[in-house]
A and B are shown apart, each in its own frame.
Chain A
């Protein structure tokens, strides 16, 4: 007479390791297809890092006196610095456009009792703030407040 096997009759004494395939980068990574924008967005980190330290240098020069300020403004006229800042400007625009496009989609459906405004309104607000802050900054930094 045969009887049904115990459900765990063939079970090993120790559970085996769960086997998973090793992670693989997609073939389009890093600079093809949709990965190009992703990779470039990440690499803007280097530009921002350098911009942060350059801003530090400028502010430090303001605190150090007229000679340091004259030296740094003269250094910024070097073509290498100008080329870097043109690249940095393109990077900042790229980051802004990419992030602002993503930002409205990342909002939760509710923040406490409040519903966020519709996505196009958030996007328009971000662009208005961006243009406004840039215009005010440009006005002030080009001596607009000094008459």
Chain B
């Protein structure tokens, strides 16, 4: 497992780095409007037709896939490092595959979610 993780490290780092860079670029407006401003009534929430029209375009699907997938990999990789820093590297062979499996599951579900819109 350690060998496999080392082989996958470049791919994981790519997703992690893009999770920080693109994830942060995308999530700021996303969280601000969908998570704070719309629920507090500062802006009118999108109705279903508006949301569906935005999400079902090609660009909408690509952006939504990015909003789902990239933060998951940023999160998984950073939580792996929290685990190493707080509990030692011995348990990394269990924690790392578990966290990356969660990110992979969410990524696959995210791709399915944007396809089925």
Contacts and interface: CB of A to CB of B under 8 A. Distances in A.
A133 B52 contact: no
A130 to B, nearest CB: 6
Interface residues on A, range: 35 or more
Interface stretch (A2-10, A12-20, A75-83, A113-121): A75-83
A49 B102 contact: yes
Interface residues of B, number: 58
A39 B76 CA distance: 15
A58 interface: yes
A140 B68 contact: no
A122 to B, nearest CB: 12
A111 interface: no
Q: Which of the listed residues A45, A46, A69, A130 has the most CB atoms from chain B within 10 Å of its own CB? A: A45
Determine chain A's interface SS by DSSP, over half rule: helix
A47 B19 CA distance: 12
B31 A129 contact: no
Contacts of B78: 41-46, 48
B36 A52 contact: no
Interface string B16-56: 00011101111111111111111110011110101111110
A43 B71 CA distance: 13
B36 A51 contact: no
Contacts of B52: 62
B99 to A, nearest CB: 8
Nearest to A65: B48
28 contacts: A30-B85, A45-B78, A45-B82, A48-B23, A48-B71, A49-B103, A56-B106, A56-B110, A59-B110, A62-B51, A62-B55, A65-B48, A69-B48, A70-B48, A73-B39, A76-B34, A81-B35, A84-B35, A88-B35, A99-B21, A130-B24, A133-B29, A136-B29, A137-B30, A141-B30, A141-B34, A142-B33, A142-B44
Interface of B: 19-21, 23-40, 43-46, 48, 50-55, 64, 67-72, 74-79, 81-82, 85-86, 102-103, 106, 109-110, 113-114, 116-117
